[in-house]
Amino acid sequence: MIKTIGFIGLGIMGKSMARNLMKAGFEVHIFARTKAKVMDILNDGAVWSATIGECAKNRDAVITIVGFPSDVDEVYNRDGNILDSADRGTILIDMTTTSPELDRKIAADAENRGLRMLDAPVTGGDTGAKNGTLTILVGGDKETFDICRPLFAAMGKNIVYEGKTGSGQHTKMVNQIMIAGALSGVCEGLSYARRAGLDMATVLKSVSTGAAASAQLSNLGGKMIREDYEPGFFLKHFIKDMRIADEEATQRKLELPVLQKVLSECRELEKTGFGEKGTQVLLKYYTGEQK
């Protein structure tokens, strides 16, 4: 039974996920590079760890949800970090969206050390993280997945076992590929509505419950017409996800032109300083306001 959890990655989503674990009765130990940024969750009852190694030691499970594949590699592999510090039998759960190959490699290294690992990326954004309604896509050993069900249930509602190690990451790539097309479609439609001189709020109300409805439209459409570009999901992280998906597709000799187009557009926005904004800032590319 899992009782104590080490949690590494207290960003926009991670902090809410850790809070939901605490609400469900888990003892949560946290590590962050800057303690001052997590004082709120420490005041809520999380336990401070001064190092990643300390956060991973003597835990039933360790969860990571960090930014980029290089961050995943660092927290698991640098001397004194997770693989060197976790006790035999500990379950490692990487909830970062990262390279399937990287998580497979870490899982193999973990198994050689008597550890178990699941890749479990999530979708649902900051709202899903706050409300505990994330979709959690899990790859790895089925028995280990079953042990972790109560833990996942504290953070999400749609918890799906995808198959062998790496399958969770591959399914997340499917999700991000689909989001790329849906997000660009919303941006194109709203750009047309603006150029046609339509009332944007009326347009949004008109199309949000019909055949054009999507999570991207319902979650981001209102923000777009209000020009609210604060991040629920960073553009820079979406670029990272699309890059991984494109690389995985290329390895399989698969051409994904919509993904590649949206990736190129987002990279242009990042070059002009919008990487720290939410993905809804893609509208600026379509309206010509990116510069």
Secondary structure (3-state) at 139: strand
Question: Of 15, 57, 130, 172, which one is the catalytic site residue?
Answer: 172
Query: How big is the chain, counted in residues?
Result: 291
Closest by CA position to 96, among listed 121, 116, 113, 130: 121
Q: What token pair was written down for 131?
A: 């409300």
Q: What does the angle CA 210 – CA 227 – CA 239 come to, to the nearest 5 degrees?
A: 80
Phi-psi region of 85 (alpha: psi -120 to 50; beta: other; left: phi over 0): alpha
Whether 57 is catalytic is no
* DSSP single-letter state for residue 78: S
Q: Which residues contact 180 (CB under 8 A, 6 or more apart)?
A: 242, 258, 259, 262, 263
Which residues are marked as active site?
A: 172
